[in-house]
């Protein structure tokens, strides 16, 4: 069968065995977002969750597909309630230069009717004390969230070993917290991914995050599932725990976990652009999926239209002759892009990663990968493989053993 692998400006036409492609999810019906907002799970529609004069903060995940459309639809519904104070808050995102541009696009979509701000974790004036956790930990969050009468979250729903399924309160904490907490969670996230992929017991932060959501009083949440083309595949909204639970159940049906005996010699995948951006974090998630599927000494072909990274960890990786020497320092004091670098180091150690992108060949080689300059080479690799497997939007696949 014919399969087109697409990532932003790059498109690769391939012919693969029918057995190489899993069952694709049905495309969402028109108006799926509007219908989900019309009938939220365990809550009334969003405009009935507020009263005149309330302060409403919409915390939006830049990685959520069609996030501007979701914000615009929610804002339109809230406008039916008079005298609301509405603002949009975005988390600080390292390695996403489009964030300022995204904030401008959101403002334009709303005709500059509400403020759109990016949280600055380094600015103490932007934080406020929320409460102490059951373990006695003092919790600080963005002041706008603490002061709000209603917090609405819009987030991407993806499998994640640290929290189970991303979304709702997992968007708020630690991303809208203190720099030390954010750094600590980077290390916890790295350990959770390492343990999950190797089959060890995964570290969990779900109880703490759920507790913080309860303390903050997060109510209305929108969880968006990304489809193979980077757009919205499905959406679940309503009470925070109900929306995340419904998204998790959907992911379990459509993104089955990788079985230990399901390995193959070649995985071919693409990483779709979400909101016109292909991030290195999404790339790292996808590569980890491929490495898990191929096992040791397999080959992973990735079609991903990336921009050259400028973070501390990825820059160090491109300049070192011994990538494994970076592992311990990056684990001990992980910079914001440590996840991308460490996942790439570990995957390159176990499998051969071949990348079809717009990056210079020399730079791809510096990162430990093999560049594919000719799109026809992808087809040749498929033809030579004994049991190729094709994954669309692989970064949203559950990549730890079942």
pLDDT by residue (tens digit) across 111-143?
999 999 999 988 999 999 999 988 888 999 999
Torsion of CA 283, 287, 288, 290, to 10 degrees: 140
Q: How far apart are the first and last CA of the chain?
A: 28
Q: Per-residue confidence at 189, pLDDT binned at 50, 70, 90?
A: confident
Q: Per-residue confidence at 203, pLDDT binned at 50, 70, 90?
A: low
Share of residues in the chain with pLDDT > 90 (%): 45
Continuous H helices in 117-239: 143-147, 169-172, 179-198, 206-216
Q: How confident is the model over 67-78, as a mean pLDDT?
A: 96
Which segment of 57-71, 216-230, 304-318, 362-376 scores lowest on mean pLDDT? 216-230
Residue 146: CB partners within 8 Å, gap ≥ 6?
Answer: 128, 129, 130, 216
Q: How far is it between the farthest Cα atoms of the chain? A: 65
Q: How confident is the model over 135-163, as a mean pLDDT?
A: 90
User: Using CB atoms within 10 A of its CB, is residue 71 exposed (0-12), middle (13-18) or buried (19+)?
Assistant: buried
- What is the Cα–Cα distance from 269 to 314, expressed in whole angstroms? 22
Predicted confidence at residue 391, as pLDDT, reads: 82
- What is the Cα–Cα distance from 340 to 344, expressed in whole angstroms? 6
Tell whether the model's pLDDT for residue 202 goes beyond 80.
no
Q: Per-residue confidence at 51, pLDDT binned at 50, 70, 90?
A: very high
- What is the Cα–Cα distance from 194 to 350, expressed in whole angstroms? 13
Structure tokens, 293: 């599927």
Which segment of 45-59, 128-142, 284-298, 339-353 scores lowest on mean pLDDT? 284-298
Q: Per-residue confidence at 401, pLDDT binned at 50, 70, 90?
A: very low
Share of residues in the chain with pLDDT > 70 (%): 89
- Ordered domains of the chain (ranges, CATH): 2-23+257-396 (3.90.226.30), 32-252 (3.40.50.11440)
Tell whether the model's pLDDT for residue 284 goes beyond 50.
yes
Predicted confidence at residue 125, as pLDDT, reads: 94
Q: Rg (Cα) of the chain, in Å, rounded?
A: 21
Predicted confidence at residue 224, as pLDDT, reads: 93
Tell whether the model's pLDDT for residue 230 goes beyond 80.
no
Predicted confidence at residue 400, as pLDDT, reads: 46
What residue has token string 């640290």? 162
Residue 268 backbone dihedrals phi, psi, to 5 degrees: -115, 130
- What is the Cα–Cα distance from 337 to 265, expressed in whole angstroms? 29
As a residue count, the chain comes to: 402
- What is the Cα–Cα distance from 21 to 209, expressed in whole angstroms? 36
Q: Per-residue confidence at 220, pLDDT binned at 50, 70, 90?
A: very high
- What is the Cα–Cα distance from 208 to 163, expressed in whole angstroms? 10
Q: Per-residue confidence at 357, pLDDT binned at 50, 70, 90?
A: very high
Predicted confidence at residue 143, as pLDDT, reads: 95
Q: Are strands 159-160 and 164-165 parallel, antiparallel or unpaired?
A: antiparallel
Which segment of 103-107, 185-189, 204-208, 350-354 scores lowest on mean pLDDT? 204-208
This prediction has a pTM of: 0.85
Predicted confidence at residue 215, as pLDDT, reads: 87
Predicted confidence at residue 402, as pLDDT, reads: 38
Question: Do 145 and 231 form a contact (C-beta atoms < 8 A)?
Answer: no
Predicted confidence at residue 216, as pLDDT, reads: 87
Average pLDDT, the chain: 86
What residue has token string 């720099």? 179
Residue 160: name the closest of 88, 209, 120 by CA: 209
- What is the Cα–Cα distance from 133 to 47, expressed in whole angstroms? 31
Q: How confident is the model over 140-152, as a mean pLDDT?
A: 94
């Amino acid at each position: 069968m014919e399969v087109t692998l697409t990532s932003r400006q790059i498109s690769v036409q391939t012919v693969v065995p029918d057995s190489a492609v899993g069952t694709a999810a049905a495309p969402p019906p028109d108006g799926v977002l509007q219908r989900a907002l019309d009938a939220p799970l365990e809550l009334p529609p969003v405009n009935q969750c507020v009263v005149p004069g309330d302060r409403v903060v919409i915390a939006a995940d830049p990685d959520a597909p069609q996030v501007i459309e979701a914000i615009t639809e929610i804002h339109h519904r809230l406008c039916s309630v008079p005298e609301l104070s509405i603002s949009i808050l975005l988390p600080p995102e390292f390695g996403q230069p489009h964030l300022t541009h995204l904030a401008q696009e959101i403002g334009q979509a709303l005709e500059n009717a509400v403020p759109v701000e990016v949280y600055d974790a380094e600015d103490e004036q932007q934080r406020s004390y929320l409460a102490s956790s059951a373990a006695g930990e003092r919790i600080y969050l963005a002041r706008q969230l603490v002061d709000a009468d209603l917090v609405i979250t819009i987030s991407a729903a993806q499998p994640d070993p640290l929290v189970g399924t991303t979304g709702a309160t997992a968007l708020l904490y630690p991303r809208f917290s203190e720099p030390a907490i954010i750094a600590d969670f980077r290390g916890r996230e790295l350990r959770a991914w390492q343990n999950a992929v190797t089959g060890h017991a995964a570290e969990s932060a779900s109880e703490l995050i759920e507790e913080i959501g309860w303390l903050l009083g997060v109510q209305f949440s929108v969880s968006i599932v990304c489809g193979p083309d980077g757009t919205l595949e499905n959406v679940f909204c309503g009470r925070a725990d109900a929306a995340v639970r419904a998204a998790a159940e959907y992911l379990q049906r459509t993104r089955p976990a990788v079985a230990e005996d399901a390995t193959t010699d070649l995985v071919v995948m693409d990483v779709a652009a979400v909101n016109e951006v292909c991030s290195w974090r999404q790339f790292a998630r996808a590569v980890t999926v491929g490495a898990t599927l191929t096992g040791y000494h397999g080959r992973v072909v990735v079609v991903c239209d990336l921009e050259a990274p400028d973070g501390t960890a990825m820059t160090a990786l491109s300049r070192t002759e011994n990538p494994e020497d970076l592992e311990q320092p990056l684990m001990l004091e992980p910079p914001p892009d440590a996840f991308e670098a460490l996942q790439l180091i570990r995957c390159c150690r176990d499998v051969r990663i071949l990348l079809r992108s717009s990056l210079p060949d020399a730079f791809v080689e510096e990162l430990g990968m093999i560049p594919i300059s000719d799109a026809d080479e992808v087809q040749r690799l498929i033809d030579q493989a004994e049991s190729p497997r094709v994954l669309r939007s692989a970064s949203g696949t559950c990549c730890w053993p079942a």
